[in-house]
């Protein structure tokens, strides 16, 4: 019985964590001019850090339009 209880808390916590990370990441990546789906890399270890550096130091598509 306790195993089922812990399991439901585990999945509920994982879902909340996913929403807390994905929603703002999706908005930030979209505002930068990239497809929001790039934010899904936030869950992939090592790739998430690499993508953070790529987004931080690349020329954003949104800024290429004029100014």
What integer pLDDT is reported at residue 1 of this predicted model? 46
CB neighbour list of residue 64: distance below 8 Å, 6 or more residues apart: 33
Predicted TM-score (pTM) of the model is: 0.65
CA nearest 64: which of 31, 28, 33? 33
CA nearest 63: which of 33, 21, 26, 27? 33
- What is the per-residue pLDDT across 33-42, written as a single tens digit (0 to 9) for each? 889 888 888 8
**For the chain, what are the domain ranges?**
2-59
Is residue 50's pLDDT more than 80?
A: yes
Q: What percent of the chain has pLDDT over 90?
A: 7
CA nearest 3: which of 34, 37, 11, 27? 11
CA nearest 38: which of 54, 16, 59? 54
């Amino acid at each position: 019985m306790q195993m089922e209880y812990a399991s439901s808390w585990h999945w509920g916590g994982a879902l909340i964590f996913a929403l807390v990370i994905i929603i703002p990441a999706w908005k930030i990546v979209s505002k930068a001019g990239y497809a929001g789906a790039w934010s899904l890399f936030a869950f992939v270890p090592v790739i998430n850090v690499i993508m953070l550096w790529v987004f931080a130091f690349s020329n954003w598509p949104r800024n290429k339009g004029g100014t």
